[in-house]
Amino acid sequence: MSELLKVDDLRVEYSSGTAINKAVNGVSFSLMAGENIGFVGETGAGKTTTALSIMGLLPNETGKVRSGTIIFQGRDLLTLREQEMRKVRGSQIGMIFQDPMTSLNPVIPVGNQVAEVLKYHAEDNSKEAINKRVDELLNMVGIPPKRKNEFSHQFSGGMRQRIVIAIAIACNPLLLIADEPTTALDVTIQAQVLEMMEELRKKINTSMIMITHDLGIVAQVCDKVAIMYSGEIVEFGSVEDIFEGEQHHPYTVGLFGSIPDLTSSAKRLTPIPGQMTDPSNLPEGCKFHLRCKHSGEECEKLSPASYEIGEGHTVKCHKFKQGGAL
């Protein structure tokens, strides 16, 4: 497989008055063609900011990329002008946003919103070709084409998400970014949407970045997993490494400990103590040391490197230095 996307040392800050929030702090990863990566972590870990940086959709006044590169098909997206980025966004990279109710325009028929992408990016943008493609896309996501002149409020949450997916895949993008696409859906609809996304991904042969809080979703649809904490990838590996491996970052252990286990007789879950660190006042050393039961003096003073504990499996923790383990 060829490398489709390579992000190296990405650092993003948000400025708010006198405060500077360091949202992404040195994120690096690569994505191969046809591969799926899941980004997992608590709210505020930097998952969505990483995705918005790739899309070039950070807020103009407050969000700034301070360093790093985002190489997509041999080009650094961070060096492109907005006019050039518009040719990439929507055609080569599509994004499914978290809340379909706010990402769809309430005063424009849903069919017109799907057609808008095609008007800008399709090779054949004649009215007949666009109408035909809109009908095809709605059929693909399970929406009757006869409903294309209706508005978003006339659809259920699951159907609105399907329309957002139709917009994202309209031009058969090489990369699809899904930002918590099932958060607002009930379990039954969530399963249907995930199954549909996987079928469509295989059909149009696209790679995917899945952002989610749900480790079950990651296990179902992803090839690799990036565990994020305070703007850093603290553990990265294959699905097998993360779900079946014996050695993990303490934060990953904490995430798994917070999941209900039907085979266990425990009366209570084991939450991670404390709260996510304040991005405007990050601690020295390891960002997780204030919540980690394995923390030592070195953790409080020095930021750890990423140590490889298996082929392609890395952990950012001092305890794994020189072959050590928890």
CATH architecture of 3-92+171-323: 3-Layer(aba) Sandwich (3.40)
Average pLDDT of the chain to the nearest whole number: 90
Question: What pLDDT sits at residue 184?
Answer: 66
**pLDDT tier at 181 (50, 70, 90 boundaries)?**
confident
Instruction: Quick: pLDDT tens for 262-306.
Output: 777 767 778 888 888 999 999 999 999 999 999 999 999 999 999
Would you kindly state where each structural domain of the chain is located, as residue ranges?
3-92+171-323
Residue 1 in this model has a pLDDT that exceeds 70: no
Cα–Cα distance between 221 and 223 in angstroms, integer?
Answer: 7
87 contact partners, CB below 8 Å, separation of at least 6: 121
Question: What pLDDT sits at residue 129?
Answer: 94
pLDDT above 70 covers a percentage of the chain that reads 97
Place of tokens 């309209």: 170
Question: What pLDDT sits at residue 271?
Answer: 82
**pLDDT tier at 18 (50, 70, 90 boundaries)?**
confident
Cα–Cα distance between 38 and 213 in angstroms, integer?
Answer: 10
Opening angle at CA 63, ends 17 and 207, nearest 5 = 155
- Point out the least confidently predicted range of 81-95, 173-187, 189-203: 189-203
